[in-house]
């Protein structure tokens, strides 16, 4: 594959703002870093891909009106794909688009750190793409396991970096990912 790079913005959509777990304080830091990544990609002429999660019903349905760019983020993508599963590479047409555009490297960002962003990263790596995972441009929420233990956003992000780094992706800051483009 070539060294052409694309930024993938996964599920940065208003659907998440409708959940009780949405924390404006945590989201603000994410939005700032995500915007810096988008703006930096644009400044370097990198294509920006928007992925939106879509379900048949609820806040992730097209009918809800929430399947749109999350408030607080300015994003005009080169292409948008709707995904029905965790990986942006399943059932979307993204893989075909990446191949047609001779993309060999992807920068992954968006919402949720340990779910759709991590799954897309693993899948892209397994398909042979070089991947930069920009944790600071991902967002997640505290989670409680089946035993009642609460995992904080910072713990979830640290765990995601642990399992991805040097196995499926290079963990990079916004600046590091853009400098490699």
Q: Where are the domains of the chain?
A: 4-179
Tokens of 147: 């035993």
Residue-by-residue pLDDT tens, the chain, 181 positions = 336 999 999 999 999 999 999 999 899 999 999 999 999 999 999 999 999 999 999 999 999 999 999 999 999 999 999 999 999 999 999 999 999 999 999 999 999 999 999 999 999 999 999 999 999 999 999 999 999 999 999 999 999 999 999 999 999 999 999 999 8
* Helix 118-126 / helix 153-164 crossing angle, nearest 10 deg: 0
Q: What span, in angstroms and rounded, lies between the C-alpha atoms of 5 and 2?
A: 9
Residue 109 CB: number of other CB atoms within 10 A?
28
- Write the DSSP assignment of 72-123 as a string of letters: T-----SEEEEESSS-TTSSSSHHHHHHHTTEEEEEEEEE-IIIIIHHHHHH
pTM of the entire structure? 0.96
Which residues pair with residue 81 across a beta bridge?
51
φ, ψ at 138 (rounded to 5°) = -125, 160
Contact in structure between 131 and 108 (CB atoms under 8 Å): yes
Q: Which fold has domain 4-179?
A: Rossmann fold (3.40.50)
Say whether 6 sits in a helix, a strand or coil: strand
């Amino acid at each position: 594959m070539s060294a052409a790079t694309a930024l993938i913005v996964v599920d940065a959509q208003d659907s998440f703002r409708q959940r009780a777990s949405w924390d404006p304080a945590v989201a603000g830091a994410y939005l700032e870093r995500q915007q810096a990544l988008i703006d930096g990609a644009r400044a370097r002429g990198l294509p920006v891909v928007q992925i939106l999660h879509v379900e048949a019903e609820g806040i992730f349905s097209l009918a809800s009106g929430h399947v749109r760019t999350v408030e607080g983020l300015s994003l005009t993508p080169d292409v948008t794909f709707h995904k029905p599963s965790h990986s942006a590479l399943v059932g979307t047409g993204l893989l075909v688009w990446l191949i047609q555009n001779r993309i060999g490297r992807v920068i992954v960002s968006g919402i949720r750190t340990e779910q759709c962003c991590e799954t897309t990263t693993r899948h892209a790596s397994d398909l042979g793409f070089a991947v930069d995972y920009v944790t600071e441009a991902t967002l997640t929420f505290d989670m409680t396991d089946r035993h009642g233990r609460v995992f904080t956003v910072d713990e979830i992000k640290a765990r995601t970096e642990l399992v991805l780094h040097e196995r499926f992706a290079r963990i990079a800051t916004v600046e590091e990912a853009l400098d490699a483009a």
